[in-house]
Structure 1
Amino acid sequence: MPANLPVRLFDIVTPGSTNHHGTLFGGIGLAHMDKVAFIAAARFGRADFVTASCERIDFAAPCRLGDIVTVEGQVARRGRRSLGVEVRLLAEAPLTGEIRHCGGGLFSMVAIGEPAPVFPELVEGAADTEEELRMVDLVLPGLTGQGGRMAAGRSIDAMARAAWIAATRATRQELQVAESRDVVLEQPIAPGEVMELVPRIEGTTADGAWVGVELRAEDVLTGVQRRCGGGRFRLAAVSALAAVAA
């Protein structure tokens, strides 16, 4: 029986994702929640799903520019062909670690295709005891290159973002990527697959951190994962870089 564990997507609120108030545009937040609902449903039911409806979508507080956004989803109810996924939208202040509940809702995901899938029993209260930070995203056609696979630049950008989030959480400093090493892309990721990033802190200093990131792809229908690449990133404190430049 597959574990009904939470699925988490992480992002950073950048100027390109804000509205005219300087906070996360609601449509982007809703799209993140929809992707997480799909991944949670697909991992639990191992079927192809579409979004049928959204219930009780609330935006309780804004996600501010520079915040780390966490979108968390978990299957909450089970039907014959549908799964209800509860999704939460959280914002984290990068320098203090303060976490704010910013929204959420219930997404009804319906399995498509024949024969109808047979869902496992829903175990209430499944908890995630995994200490390793794992970040997921759904690869959509808009992220692919000419060969129909995820573009190399987007893969490297995703690894750098994962490294930044992990290093910021570990140091609570204002950081930026200063160096990368051993970056390799071993296999392409296809549209419809889940991209999983696993950043690991290799060491911290007074002015930054080294982070190793593993890039994986998952077939949502089978659950089979494969390694697609990885790299090492040095995140340096902005104040330290400014001192060197001066």
Structure 2
Amino acid sequence: MRYLKAPLGVSPTTMLKYAIAAALLAVLLLLTIKTAETCNEAVCGSVVSKCLLTKSCNCDLKNCTCCKECFNCLSYLYSECCSCVDMCPKPNHTGTDLSRKSHVEDFEEVVPQLFAVLTELPDPHKRWETKTFPVDMEFNHYDPKKEIKLTMLSVEQEVDPNKLTMITVNCTVAFWAQCMSWTKCKSSCLSMGASSYRWFHDGCCECIGQYCLKFGINESRCSQCPGGEESKQLIDEEEDDYDYGEHDYDDQDDD
């Protein structure tokens, strides 16, 4: 076996120390790059190890056979740690303001199956509360590309009955209980597979499903936010009177 000779004036022990230090530095650099691009190992290491050990996250976003199990396993760290198990949809960095009291944005990559699974039943950890309501839409088929367009109808619009097909779909939104920052709201809704999100300026976060128009409900309903609890109580008392947008022209008809 051949051994490397130390340069003159440098002992083999010193060389070994330098080699170990260089190796550790290289490993640390690789981990830092990996963490910045994908997974926060310092925060997620323990919970991810548990979920991998129990095989709770052995699936992908395409078939989503264990999405809910993985979401529950990662628990409140899901939005921070979903990248560690390849369960984070890709973000979209473009956004558009819709109103003065909230910020809204569509996601480029959506996972409606994941969102449907997570909002089908009440969250066991009470992290969010779901609301589902029917929406009437116009269903148009465009040839030759067979594109599908869904739009809200008003009574003022003149439509051809022969070309019009009305369908009723369920819009589902999820209001997070706790107040959160804009970036936290965006990442939380993205991790749930939502189609879009609405972040209210009081800190309330609303994740919006694929069949919702005009970014869901334009009212803060988060139960533990300053403006959310009051709105929630008001709506519970007057649920039948709440307007989801389908009666915008009722007053004009009465005139």
Normalising by the residue count of structure 2, what TM-score does the alignment of the two structures yield?
0.24
The structure having more radius of gyration, on CA atoms, is 2
Under a length normalisation based on structure 1, what TM-score does the superposition of the two structures give? 0.24
- Structure of greater relative contact order (alpha carbons < 8 Å, 6+ residues apart): 1
> Which is helix-richer, 1 or 2?
2
